[in-house]
Structures are given as structure tokens and as C-alpha cells.
Structure 1
Amino acid sequence: MTPLLSLSTLIDKINERVGKGAFWLVLLMTLISAGNATYRFIFNDSSNGLLEIQWYLFAAVFLLCAPYTLQKNEHVRIDVISGKFSPRGLAIIDIIGTLFFLLPMVVLVLWLSVPLVTESFRINEYSANAGGLIRWPVKALLPLGFLLLALQGVSELIKRIAFLQGLIADPNAKENKPSAEEELAAAIAAAKAKEGK
């Protein structure tokens, strides 16, 4: 199991680096959006290329951050149901979900997307919009993102099995710190309290 845990750690490091790198795309997307809106307001003109690059960057953020989100155990769950299970029960459910839902879905998307990317690259596909961008790079994000998601699924599977064998701590355990939502609510409450003084 030790080599598999080493593989899991390597996958985690790769997806953490990719996910944190993709965070910067949000800033870039915001700057492009603001620049395009400003240009449109001042010159009463717009660029399809700038609009499309925003969509491409959004796709990149979504696809490249999904594996990192899975790693951090932040995907949507039905907490009312999952909260009733023991850590072992939740690990078993995660194993079943990964084997029978996540990995088959990822393999299907990879199977279907690779020919689309290959054909787009072969014909050097461009957007049909005037001033539009080349399409294959954004299409290539689909198999890349799902490959990284498949790898993270394997990593999570390894961690759940290791946990059930008593080799590692509960991978579903949350750190004892407020969630992002709780931090935001506390900041809003503090601001309101400050305004009231």
C-alpha cells in the first residue's frame, strides 16, 4: 500500500499545483472582462475574440479546478444524508461512488472528447464568429481536465482504502476552522456591527 500512497501524494501535489495556478485565471478573466466593457463603453465597439477568451478562461478554471476541489473534499454532497454515516461508512460510500460513478463517467468523457479535439486540431478549427479564436486549445481542456479528475479519483480511492485498513487518518475529516461561507457571514456581521457604532 505504501507505493500507492506515494502515488496518491504525487497526484495530490500535481492537482494542487494545477488548481492553485488556475486561480490566477480568474483574475485574468476579470481584467479582460473589465477591459472589454470599458472599451465597449468608450468606443461603442466590442471584440468577439475578447468575449471568447473569457469563455475559454472560465472553461479552464472549471475544468482545472475540479480535481483540486475533489482533493479538498469540497464537492457538493447531501450533508443531511452523509452526516448520518460513520467515517468508515462514508469512506465505503466514497469508494462505491468513485468506482461506479466518477471513474466510469470520466472514462466516457475522455473517450468521447479525444476525437473531437483531434479533429479540431486537424482542421485548425476557428470560431464561426467574426474575430473569433482558434477552437482546439479550449477543446483540449476537456480531456486534460477529465484526465486530472480521473487521477484525483484514483488518489481519493487509494486514500479511502488506506483509511479502511487503518493506515491513514480519515480523508473526509474537515479541519476545525470556519468554512468560507462562515467566514463571509462573520465578516458581514462584523461590518454591520461596526456601522451600527
Structure 2
Amino acid sequence: MNVEGMKQSAGAWRFISAYVRFTDRLSDYVGYLAASLIFAMGGVLLFDAVTRNLIKMPVHWAVELTQFMLVAYYFMGGPFTLKNNEHVRMDLWYATLSVRGKAAMDLATVWCLIFYIGVLLIGSISSLQYAIATNEKRFSIWNPSVIPIKALLTVCLVLMLLQAFALVFKHVATLRGEKL
């Protein structure tokens, strides 16, 4: 490789490194925000318990709001889970592999994840478009719009896709003997 090619390769590697750092940081922020939802859910459920049991005036929206918050918690935790390598994995042979062997296995299987997230993203965009076009609402006493939660799903799937590509770069770096 000539000097010009090495400069281009170094520039590309710097861009990839910046992309991975940005994506990891974004996943951290979203994950910490998701973790804070636990306290908000607890507060809403406590409010519901007090109004239902002490005041005898139940609020019909509290449990449903908590369900929406739990869905948000689940969606927002996805990129954070991928970033921290805390997702479920079949550990039959994986645990016996070397660090480079694990990186090669992860690099081979991450494409299945990217395909899966891509299909989910296409479906979530379609579902969001339908919700916006029809002003879709839940059938309940509260009758909330589902547009915000479907929009959050779409955004979180984009973040998971970004994080999956960051994983590709991390696995390639591990195979090259480098660290991002």
C-alpha cells in the first residue's frame, strides 16, 4: 500500500472510531434515560395505589401509562444492551472460543441481527405511518394516542441498527488486533 492509500485508510479508521464513540455515547445516554423510567413508573403506580386505596378515587390512566413507560424502557434499553454486550447468547461453543474467535463468530452473526432489525424497522415505519394517517388510539377509558410509542420504537430501532454497525466495526478491529 502506498503512502496515499495509508493516509486514506487512517482517515477512514478515524471516522469509524469517531462513529463508534458517538454511537456508544448515544446508546449510554438513551440507556440511562431508560433506567430512570423505573422511578417514574414506580411514582405513577404509587400515585395510582394512593388514589385508588386511600382516596377511593381511581385514576384510569395510571396503569396504562405505566405500560407505555415499560414499553419505552424495553425499546430504549436495546441499544444499551447491544453496546454493553449483555444480550442473550447461546453459550454452547462460544465460551470456549478465544477473543479473536468470539469476534469472528460475532462478526458472522451480527449480520443476522442487522437483517432482523432492518425488517423490524421497515415494519415500524409502516406502523407509524398508519398510526399517523389514522390518528390511531388505544381502546380504553383513557384512549391515548399510540403515535408517540410507535415513533419511539422507530427511533430506538434506528439506534439499535447504528449500534449493530458499531459492533461490526468493533469486531473487525478485534480481528485486526486493534481496539476501538
Determine the structure 1 residue equivalent to 2:113.
102
Question: What is the alpha-carbon distance in structure 2 between the residues aligned to residue 48 and residue 114 of structure 1?
Answer: 30
Deviation at 1:152, TM superposition (A): 0.5
Distance 2:130 2:59 in 1: 27
The question of 1:33 aligning with 2:45 is answered yes
- Matched with 2:68 is 56
Correspondence for 1:92: 104
> Contact between 2:51 and 2:59, CA under 8 Å: does it hold in 1?
no
Distance in structure 2 (CA, Å) of the matches to 1:44 and 1:138:
30
Larger mean Cα displacement after TM superposition, 75-84 or 160-169: 75-84
Q: Following TM superposition, by how much is the alpha carbon of 1:49 offset from its aligned partner in structure 2, in angstroms?
A: 1.8
**Please, which runs of 5 or more residues in structure 2 have no aligned partner?**
1-12
1:24 is aligned to 36
CA contact (8 A) 1:49 1:131 kept: yes
Aligned match for 1:42, one of 54, 60, 68: 54
Instruction: Give the whole-Å Cα distance in 1 for the aligned partners of 2:95 and 2:60.
Output: 47
Structure-1 separation of matches of 2:80 and 2:22: 13
Between the aligned partners of 1:112 and 1:134, the Cα distance in structure 2 is 19
Counterpart code for 1:114: I
Shift of 1:45: 4.2
Unaligned runs of 5+ in 1: 170-197
- SS of 2:89's partner is coil
Deviations 1:141-195 (A, max 9, x none): 22111111111100111011011111217xxxxxxxxxxxxxxxxxxxxxxxxxx
SS in 1 for 2:179: coil
The question of whether the paired residues in 1 share the 8 Å contact of 2:104 and 2:171 is answered with yes
Name the count of aligned residue pairs. 168
For residue 96 of structure 2, give the secondary structure of its aligned residue in structure 1. coil
RMSD: 1.5
Sequence identity percentage: 24
Report the TM-score, using the length of structure 2 for normalisation.
Answer: 0.87
Per-residue CA deviation, residues 109-131 of structure 1 (Å, 9 max, x unaligned), is 01111121112122222221012
